Amino acid sequence: MQNKGGDPICPYDCTKGAETMLLDLTNPEARTWYKGVIKENMLRDGHGGWMNDFGEALPITGISLHDGSDPLEFHGRYPEEWAKLVQEAIAEENMQDEVVFFSRSRGLKGPSYSPVYWQGDQLPSWDDKDGLKSTITGLLTAGLSGMSILHSDIGGYTTTNYPGTKCSYSRSGELQRRWAEASAFTSAFRSHEGTYPPGSHQVYTDADTIRHFSYFAKVFAAWQPLRKALMIEAAATGLPIARPLLVHYPELPQAWSSDTQWLLGDTVMVAPVYDEGGISRSVLFPTSEASRVPGMPCGGNTTWVHLWTGKEYCGGHVATVAAPIYQPPVFYDLISISGLEFAEDMRRAHLIN
């Protein structure tokens, strides 16, 4: 890629003393060269996956692309071409069933090429602007926009430390734990040390955190059968793994404003703690006329069973649920086969009684 004066374009200055260039993905020779880099340095070197970062920073003016494309138009396509290039390299090595990569940026057709997405670089904070709560918003809205398989860096990423200002962010042990609890019920479970590892609590900082992280890694592994079924459904229909309540309860007015809890399919519900110091939270328990079963508990409304204690909650109500560390509010439908199998998978892994 060149600017109109003929000099290379360098939109990034990521490290001192290093130039980083943006590849012109309209140039066949450039694509072939970079696929060779991936094959030689990643696939043939034994890597089973990687973060396929960036892709969103193509300049929209002041450059000329190899095939004459309008930079403004190609800016939106660049992320999908970036993922497509990687997909092609993997396919050319016949390693489609052996390698997975995850992307940050996407274009309109991006999910056709990137198997997994993550939400980028959140702050290690609790807030709804760029912290833990924002990842729930992102999970639900992106899921409705075609990013069916999505996750975030557990604990956030961008550690900053400017003494005496409000611009200092570092991950606490509590935030690390609560973020892991939420992430255990998304499409991927992956930690990140962040921009300044010594300045943030890590999964390995102390024995309690290691124990907690290990437990929820096992929780994530335990519901693999349901996750696999939902991924097959996502591939066939585009439905996200994590769904806003409104997807399955559109007639319930509160479902349209519920933005801090989600469904895995239609029979498991997650309502994580996202407030610092929180030991309980308010949970909306949905139900619908279509799901009514006369003669069953709760007057025929959906009965939601608390995963950790077995306590039952009737659909059609809002209730405050205790949520100590190790017990994020998670529920399953009492009479659904997939919900009961979800709970049984947890018992089989010795995670609940």
Considering the candidates 24, 29, 45, 56, report the single residue annotated as catalytic: 56
Task: Look at residue 7 in the predicted model and tell me its pLDDT.
Answer: 42
CA distance 222 to 228: 11
Task: Look at residue 165 in the predicted model and tell me its pLDDT.
Answer: 67
Task: Look at residue 17 in the predicted model and tell me its pLDDT.
Answer: 55
Task: Look at residue 21 in the predicted model and tell me its pLDDT.
Answer: 82
CA distance 109 to 211: 40
Task: Look at residue 9 in the predicted model and tell me its pLDDT.
Answer: 41
Across-strand partners of 191? 154
For the chain, list the domains and their CATH numbers. 2-237 (3.20.20.80), 242-348 (2.60.40.1180)
Considering the candidates 121, 193, 233, 259, report the single residue annotated as catalytic: 121
The answer to whether 127 is a known catalytic residue is no
Task: Look at residue 6 in the predicted model and tell me its pLDDT.
Answer: 42
CA distance 333 to 264: 11
In this predicted model, what pLDDT tens digit does every residue of 314-337 receive, in sequence order?
999 999 999 999 999 999 999 999
In this predicted model, what pLDDT tens digit does every residue of 17-67 receive, in sequence order?
557 788 999 999 999 999 999 999 999 999 999 999 999 999 999 999 999
Q: Mean pLDDT across the chain, nearest whole number? A: 92
Global pTM reads: 0.91
The answer to whether 13 is a known catalytic residue is no
Q: Which residues contact 276 (CB under 8 A, 6 or more apart)?
A: 126, 172, 174, 175
What are the C-alpha distances in Å from 39 to residues 10, 35, 93, 116, 117? 25, 6, 7, 20, 21
Task: Look at residue 86 in the predicted model and tell me its pLDDT.
Answer: 97
The answer to whether 121 is a known catalytic residue is yes
Task: Look at residue 8 in the predicted model and tell me its pLDDT.
Answer: 40
* Cβ atoms of 267 and 332 closer than 8 Å: yes
Task: Look at residue 18 in the predicted model and tell me its pLDDT.
Answer: 58
Does the CA dihedral 235-237-239-245 come out positive or negative?
negative
Give the count of beta carbons closer than 10 Å to the beta carbon of residue 219: 23
Averaged in consecutive runs of 10 residues, what is the pLDDT profile of the chain (353 residues)? 43 53 94 97 95 93 95 95 97 96 92 94 94 96 94 94 76 97 97 92 97 98 98 94 96 94 97 97 92 81 96 96 98 96 98 95
Q: Are strands 63-64 and 2-3 parallel, antiparallel or unpaired?
A: antiparallel
